[in-house]
Amino acid sequence: MKSRMNKSLVGLLTASVVLSSSLFAGNEDRIGSAGASHLLINPWARGSAIGDAGVANMNGIEATFTNVAGLAFTDKTQIKFNYSNWMGNAGISLNSAGFAQRINESSVFSVSVQSLNYGDIPITTVANPEGNIGFFSPRANIFNVAYAKEFSSSISGGINFKVISENISNMKATGVAIDAGIRYVTGEQDHIKFGIALKNVGPVMKYKGDGLAQQVTYVSTGFIGSLENRSATYEMPSLLSIAGSYDFIFNEKSKLNLAVAFTANSFSKDQYRLGLDYGMTSEKMAFNLRGGMVYENGAFTSENRSNALIGPTAGFSIDALVGKSKSALGLEYCARFAGVFGIIHTIGATISLK
C-alpha cells in the first residue's frame, strides 16, 4: 500500500512538472512584465557559486532554492545563515537564514526566510521635492516552509510553500507561491543525478495602501475627499529547470562534480548553466572549490544584456568535521560578477549535525 502511494505521489508530481513545461517557456517579449523578481535571487553561497546549476545535486537547505527535492538528503539537522551585498555597492543587503530537520528516515522539514533591505531612502512629496521630511526603508521578504521525501533509494521529491511580501512606507503587496521538484539518482556509487524543478507558481500580486489614495477638492462644495487609484496586478516570475550532474570520483577523499542545467523562464530569456565543484576531505576538514557560468542570449553584448545575474561565478567552503559522527561547522563564500553593478559577495556559515 505504501509503495503504491509513493508511486502515485511521484507520478502526480512528475506529470505536474511535465505538463507545466508547456506553460512556462522563455518569452523575450514578456521581459520585465513580471513582479517579485527577488524570487529569482539565490540567497545561498554554495549553490550560487556553481551558477545555480545544482538542480540535480544540491542538498540540504541550499536545495530549497534550486530544487526542493534535494532537501531530502539532509543528514539530521542543518542551520544556515548567509549575507550578500546585493548588486555590489548599491547599498542593498540580502540576509538569509534557514533551519532543516529530519523528522523520520525518509522525510525532512525546513523553514527559511530571506529579507532584502534597500536602506534608508529620503521621503519626497510634490510640496517637498528636496526631501528633508524623513526616510523610509523598502523591504522585500520571502518566508519558506518546505517538505521533502525519499520515495525510494533512487527517487526523491519535495514541495516548498512561499509567502512573499513587498512594501514601502505607504504601500504593500503580499502573495503566495509554490515550488515543486523531483530528483533521480543512479549509478553504482550514486554518481549520476537528474533533477526537474518548477518554481514560483502562484496567483497574481497587487499593491494596496494609502500610497494609491489622492486628495481632491470638489469645486461645487469645497469639500475634500479621497480617491483611490486602481493598482494593476502582476504575475510571478515562474520557471522550469531541468538538470543533470556527474561525480568524477578520484578516490575516497576527493571528487569533482560536473553540473549542467537549462532554465526556461516565463518572463525572461532562457538560460544555460554550468557548474564545477571540486571537493577534498580529510579526517578533520572538508574543502570545496567551486566555479560556474550562466549564459543567455546576448550575455556578452552590453546593449543586449537584460540580466545582471549572468556570467561567471566562483566560491569555496571550508567545513570542520567534529565528533565521531563527523558533524560539520562550515564557512562559505561566493562571488557573482554582475557586470556594471560590480561583484556580489555572499558569505555565510552552516552547522550540519549528523
Under 8 Å between Cβ of 321 and 283: yes
| Pick from 25, 22, 39, 114: nearest CA to 309 | 39
The CA–CA distances, whole Å, from 286 to 23, 119, 315, 328 equal 42, 37, 14, 9
Query: Taking the model in full, what pTM does it have?
Result: 0.86
Q: What is the CATH number of the domain that holds 26?
A: 2.40.160.40
User: Can you give the pLDDT at residue 220?
Assistant: 79
User: Can you give the pLDDT at residue 28?
Assistant: 65
Long-range contacts: 293-296, Cβ < 8 Å, 24+? 293/51, 294/51, 294/52, 295/271, 296/268, 296/269, 296/270, 296/271, 296/272
Under 8 Å between Cβ of 113 and 73: no
User: Can you give the pLDDT at residue 2?
Assistant: 43
In tens, the pLDDT along 161-172 reads 999 999 988 889
Domain range for 65: 2-353
State which residues of the chain have pLDDT below 50. Answer: 1-6, 8-10, 12-25
Quick one: 301 exposed, middle or buried, by C-beta within 10 A (0-12, 13-18, 19+)?
exposed
In tens, the pLDDT along 43-89 reads 999 999 999 999 999 999 999 999 999 999 999 999 999 999 988 77
State how many domains the chain has.
Answer: 1
Q: Count of CB atoms within 10 A of residue 308's CB?
A: 17
User: Can you give the pLDDT at residue 181?
Assistant: 96
